[in-house]
Amino acid sequence: MYHIAIVDDEQIVKLAVKSMIDWNSGEYELAGTASDGLAALQLVDRTSVDIMITDLKMPRMDGLELIAALKDRPSPPAVLVLSNHGDFGLVREALRQGAKDYLLKTDISPEILGQSLSELTATLGRPKGMDPPNGNCDAVSLVLVDDGLPGLEARFAEVRSDEADCRFTVLVAKSSGPVDDLAGLVGTLAEQGLKACRRCFLARGPEGEGILVALVHPGIEVAPQTMAAWLVDQGRMYYDCEFGIVHAPLIADRSRLKSTLLEVLRVSGQFFYAKCQGKVLSVGDYRDQSDRELLLRSRPKVGTNLADSVRILVEWCAEHRVSPKFLKREISAALPTPALAEAVLAAPSDRDLLGLFTTPDGPRYRSEVQAIIEYLAAHPNEKVSVARLAQLVRMSESYLCTIFKDQTGKSIINFINDDKLDRARELLSTGKYLIKEVAIAVGIEDPFYFNRLFKRRFGKAPSEFIPG
């Protein structure tokens, strides 16, 4: 778990930043807050701080002085700088002094901050508490099992007597796209980073899942959610592989392995829904599945307007965590043609299922998402907020963000930025404009932020797209 400190002389900024971090994820914990550099140093001296989010302009000791002073501390935290427009010179100096990244206060959002923290933690390595008691950093012992779940159970039953005190957890990884060998990738990551584990047993699931049974060193207190989040982040950052993981709690009773495996595999079916793909899920959140399935029978059945009825049903099932197998059976049973019913039962995701009911001439997205896309196209350089867009379509911000990402595969912020960067690349390729002029033309006035977004989008610096 990474411990985060927030430093700013404005109370409203500290509260805003604090509200944008998902403290319930099990990955982050608030180490404390401070109003200036001196108070921040005192905080570092009395508690564990892995990441410090700090303003640059503060009384008594500003952000630059704080960064310089942190270098003298043992195991100094990684620094993420908050800045305003016009602070470019200070930001440049902060990065030179050792700050890892920066964010503009005017552009910060839960999505942007979450992405920056994920990128930052990937460079820090595993969270504190994931090393074994003796500090040994050798690779974790990995046992590969070729014959699926039965072989996994058999090999696990052979656990040595010196591992009798180890608790275990089950993690199941499932990709949201084609991956050659997801289980192999998960095994590689586990060997490199799950140092809280004494041994890991690895098998392939019936649908290409990567199944990991991890024996945790006695005396180590590490949350399975932390282990799962680390694996997901590492896979995304270093292997460009998007997958989600379901995890079980730490268990001491080895006789519960089979039932836990079946439970975790059942919950992994939730990755059928776009809203769950690439996420970390806990079996503890999905124990009332049967009740939800019974409740589904009171929902409207597929009616005359087939596409809309199916869409509403899929959205409702995703929201209420209904089994995808149950959902597909319900839809297929109401369809007039066997071929379509078979296609529904075989659909690997909710997007594929919904695509079966989209006519060639029909809209690609539901009306509210289509309205947002059209509005953004008509106002390409306007600074719009999620709150403003939510008002336009009369939805809550959280629900709009959910359905927008479910249907487009991107968050609203990333959708807007990608459109701006695509236009920027076109302008740069003409050879008529300076990089700074292009950045301003597409509405990204901060050149540092523009360069960072551009390289993340295209894998190359803006200068490489200028001809000659």
Residues in the chain: 468
The fold of the 2-124 domain, in CATH, is Rossmann fold (3.40.50)
Residue pair 244/271 in contact (Cβ under 8 Å)? The answer is yes
End-to-end Cα distance, the chain: 48
From CA 328, how far away is CA 178, in angstroms rounded? 22
| pLDDT value at residue 261 | 92
SS3 state of residue 24: helix
- Can you give the residue ranges of every domain in the chain? 2-124, 141-285, 289-355, 367-409, 414-465
Which is nearest to 416 in space by CA: 441, 439, 438, 442? 442
From CA 171, how far away is CA 264, in angstroms rounded? 7
SS3 state of residue 311: helix
Quick check: pTM over 0.85? no
The DSSP secondary structure of 324-374, one letter per residue, reads: HHHHHHHHHHT-S-HHHHHHHHH-SSHHHHHHTT--TTS-SS-HHHHHHHH
| pLDDT value at residue 364 | 59
Residue pair 272/348 in contact (Cβ under 8 Å)? The answer is yes
From CA 196, how far away is CA 327, in angstroms rounded? 39
Which residues of the chain have a pLDDT value below 50? 128-137, 302-304, 363
Classify 414-465 by CATH class.
Answer: mainly alpha
| pLDDT value at residue 35 | 92
Classify 141-285 by CATH class.
Answer: alpha beta
Sign of torsion over alpha carbons 295, 322, 315, 328: negative
The tens digit of pLDDT for each residue in 227-250 reads 888 888 878 766 778 899 999 999
